Amino acid sequence: MNDWRFERPPGLPLPQPAEEARPFFDALLEGRLAIQCCVACGLLLHPPRAVCSACQSTDFDWQETSGKGVVYSYVVTHQAVHPALAGHTPLATVEVELAEGPHITSNLIDVPPESVEIGMAVTVVFEEVSDGVVLPLFRHH
């Protein structure tokens, strides 16, 4: 159990981010989990938006987060409903509530699917899943 390690199904889609989402993925390459932040009103926006939904400003900054959060919800895929999942189930996907507020989707690298629980404390890790593509995954321990 303790040496269980997440193996990402290699065929899962890689992010093809829209223009406004690029800085999120660029920051990951530098080992930072940065969330879009409205300069005018301070609202954190995730996924990134073209315009701040609170004040309509287009002046954005990217705020580095602590990378800490808790599991807000999770699912475990048992049936290979996508070709990439064949031979890679069960697969747990988690929704993490970051300490700063925003929720992001991810996987836990050190918790097997049957042991995931809502409320688990987690911390971001940066995993290069393909050349030049880093994803924010999380560890519990």
Which secondary-structure segment (H or E) carries 24?
A: helix 22-29
CB 23 within 8 A of CB 63: no
The verdict on 44 binding another protein (CB under 8 A) reads: no
**Which residues neighbour 44 within 8 Å (Cβ) at sequence distance 6 or greater?**
35, 36, 37, 38, 63, 100, 101, 102
- Which of 45, 116 has the CB closer to Zn ion? 45
C-beta of 85: minimal distance to another protein in Å?
A: 7
HSE on the CB side for 100, CA within 13 Å? 20
Q: Strands 91-98 and 68-77: what pairing? A: antiparallel
Please, what is the minimum distance in Å from the beta carbon of residue 72 to another protein? Answer: 7
Applying CB under 8 A, among 64, 68, 93, 112 the residue interacting with another protein is 93
For residue 95, the partner it binds in another protein, Zn ion, none, with Cβ less than 5 to 8 A by kind, is: another protein
Binding-residue pattern over the window 8 to 47 for Zn ion, x denoting contact by CB under 5 A: ------------------------------x-xx-x----
CB 32 within 8 A of CB 104: no
**Given candidates 2, 5, 19, 79, which one binds another protein under the rule CB under 8 A?**
79
When binding is defined by CB under 8 A, the residue of 40, 41, 51, 75 that contacts another protein is 75
